Amino acid sequence: MSMREIKLCLLGDSGVGKSSLVLRFVSDTFNERAETTIGASFMSKTLLVDDRSFKYQIWDTAGQEKYRGLAPMYYRGAAAAIVVYDVTKMDTFKTLKSWIKELQQLGPRDIVIAIAGNKCDLEEMREVPTKEAVAYAEEIGAVFSETSAKTAINVKDIFVRICQRLPSEMMVSVEPDKTITLHNEPPKQKNCSC
Query: DSSP readout, the chain?
Result: -EEEEEEEEEE--TTSSHHHHHHHHHHS---TTPPPPSSEEEEEEEEEETTEEEEEEEEEE--SGGGGGGHHHHHTT-SEEEEEEETT-HHHHHHHHHHHHHHHHHS-TT-EEEEEEE-TT-GGG--S-HHHHHHHHHHHT-EEEE--TTT-TTHHHHHHHHHHHS-S---EE----SEEE--SSPPPPPPS--
**Residue ranges for the chain with pLDDT beneath 70:** 1-2, 33-42, 61-74, 168-194
In a domain, 136, yes or no: yes
Q: Total structural domains in the chain?
A: 1
In a domain, 193, yes or no: no
In a domain, 191, yes or no: no
6: domain range? 2-181
CATH assignment of the domain containing 32 = 3.40.50.300
Q: What residues pair up with 82 in beta bridges, in sequence order?
A: 10, 114
In a domain, 186, yes or no: no
In a domain, 194, yes or no: no
Q: Cα(160)–Cα(152) distance, rounded to whole angstroms?
A: 14
In a domain, 188, yes or no: no
The per-residue pLDDT for range 89-114, each reduced to its tens digit, is 999 999 999 999 989 988 888 899 99
Task: Check residue 113 and give its pLDDT.
Answer: 96
Question: How many CB atoms neighbour CB 116 within 10 A?
Answer: 30
User: DSSP 3-state assignment of 73?
Assistant: helix
In a domain, 67, yes or no: yes
Do residues 190 and 153 lie in contact, with contact meaning Cβ atoms separated by under 8 Å? yes
In a domain, 187, yes or no: no
Do residues 159 and 115 lie in contact, with contact meaning Cβ atoms separated by under 8 Å? no
